[in-house]
Amino acid sequence: MNSQDDELVMIYGTRAVIEALSSGKEIERVFLQNGLNNPLIRELKDALKDAGLHFQGVPSEKLNRLTRSNHQGVIAYLSTVTYYKTEDIVPVLFEEGKVPLLMILDRITDTRNLGAIARTAECSGVHALIIPSRGSALINSDAVKTSAGALHHLPVCREDNLKQTLDFLKASGVKIVACTEKTELPAREADLTGPLAIIMGSEENGVSHEYIKRCDASVRLPMSGSVASYNVSVSAGMILYEVMCQRKIR
């Protein structure tokens, strides 16, 4: 069992998962036994597709390790937070006269890093976190605890296609800035005062090249030493401090 799943609520059985979807429950992860293809499974797959959720096909042995109950080849985990969509959040911010400040997390897979970023983001006036539906840390109770509860106050947008999300943000007048050591422009010399979305990348690979191509700018943080980079949650705090200074937030 994945340790990130330990604090999530498990539900199992085809009908139970279908009912959870139809009642509007937030689903974090779905496992389906390989090879199943009956009418109820097809109904479940259609419901997952309608909800914009993916499932992972696994052998029956994995499901049997997760629970000894009659799972019928289907196990799901409920989310600990409610997810939003970026296209629902951003227009409201503009309508309310706010200057949008968003943080996009590209392949941040460590739960505690995500929680720490959320805590700093909420304290810094970030309006929403944006994460991909795949390749991101689970938001479980450990993430919520590390965030000091910030994940219950800061909207999290889970997006199936970050490229489309970036295109939407740019079309909405939001400047996209990647925080990466692979550039020459210091963050303090960039204009971070207007509508802004900052992309933070994984510690292993940084921000994906496909996202950097869609950015309006890339900025780096000051660094002196032999270690290649800061921890991503530390980097998030540093760039958000610069944003707060430029926006004269006290």
pTM: 0.86
pLDDT tens by residue, the chain, 250 residues: 455 555 578 999 999 999 999 888 889 889 999 999 999 999 999 999 988 888 999 999 999 999 999 999 999 999 888 899 999 999 999 999 999 999 999 999 999 999 999 999 999 999 999 999 888 888 888 899 999 999 999 999 999 899 999 999 999 999 999 999 888 899 999 999 999 999 999 878 889 999 999 999 999 998 887 777 789 999 999 999 999 999 988 7
- What separation, in Å, do the N-terminal and C-terminal C-alpha atoms of the chain show? 45
Domain with CATH 3.40.1280.10 in the chain: 83-246
3-78: CATH topology = 60s Ribosomal Protein L30; Chain: A; (3.30.1330)
Domain with CATH 3.30.1330.30 in the chain: 3-78
The predicted structure's pLDDT at residue 31 = 95
**Could you say which of 3.40.1280.10, 1.10.3210.10, 3.40.50.1970, 3.40.50.2300 is the CATH number of the domain covering 83-246?**
3.40.1280.10
User: What is the per-residue pLDDT for 23?
Assistant: 86
The predicted structure's pLDDT at residue 4: 52
Please count the CA atoms within 13 angstroms of the CA of 189 that sit on its side-chain side: 10
